[in-house]
Chains A and B, each alone.
Chain A
């Protein structure tokens, strides 16, 4: 079945550092890929998405590229801020019929001033 594997956290960075959170997936066919973010005390919200190979999703300075050859969708940001401290979830969804979102376990990011 479909699955998502994320790097374990927490990831601890200083402000303005470069961020990478690794995500790899296993899926049949051609899934859509997503990053969701959960700020403290809040529900999850969609950060970015990519629906086909080589697509790049981007939002709020974050980027992720759908790499079919390596089955990866790593999240990157060039310069993190304290306000980026949150838990980040990689997820995938199949593209045929209703396919529930499959979430990774989440990676906590802590950014210090």
Chain B
């Protein structure tokens, strides 16, 4: 089984709908991240969390919210989806060493299409 699991893997929805992407990890890491991948733009950080009580905005947090329900779970929500949120979303984790080693562990991605 994957250490970082994302659900759903694929989702098609309509403009205005609320969507939640879920991430769970078995690595025991404190730090969790949500990234968005768009062609030609690479990966951009949406939100990150250092522990259950610590949530931080990344560079493109507008239109998104997150919830850290437990150390192992970090969910990303789109309250009212719009077409330009169509993208591939990745959850990632790291431990404290990852701050300087730069090693993140990624899930397999959730492809979201907003019509």
Q: Are A100 and B42 in contact (CB under 8 A)?
A: no
Is B100 a contact of A44 with CB atoms below 8 Å? no
Q: Is A95 an interface residue (CB 8 A)?
A: yes
Cα A95 to Cα B40 with chains together (Å): 27
> Which secondary structure characterizes the binding site on chain B?
mixed
Taking CB atoms, residues of chain A closer than 8 Å to B100 are 32, 51, 93, 95
A105 CB–B CB distance under 8 Å = yes
Provide the A35-46 mask, 1 if CB < 8 A to any CB of B, else 0. 000000111111
CB within 8 Å for A100 and B43 given contacts A32-B102, A45-B106, A91-B102: no
Contacts of A41 in B (CB 8 A): 108
B-side interface residues, number (CB < 8 Å): 24
Are A44 and B42 within 8 A (Cβ)? Answer: no
Instruction: Decide yes or no whether B84 CB sits under 8 A from chain A.
Output: no
Write out the residue numbers on chain A whose beta carbons fall within 8 Å of the beta carbon of B42.
Answer: 4, 89, 103-106
Number of interface residues of A (CB under 8 A): 23
What distance in Å separates the Cβ of A83 from its nearest Cβ neighbour in chain B? Answer: 18
B-facing mask of A74-113, CB < 8 A → 1, else 0? 0000000000000001010101001111011110000000
Q: In the complex the two chains form, is A42's CB within 8 Å of B58's CB? A: no
Chain A residues proximal to chain B, CB less than 8 Å: 4, 32, 34, 41-46, 49, 51, 89, 91, 93, 95, 98-101, 103-106
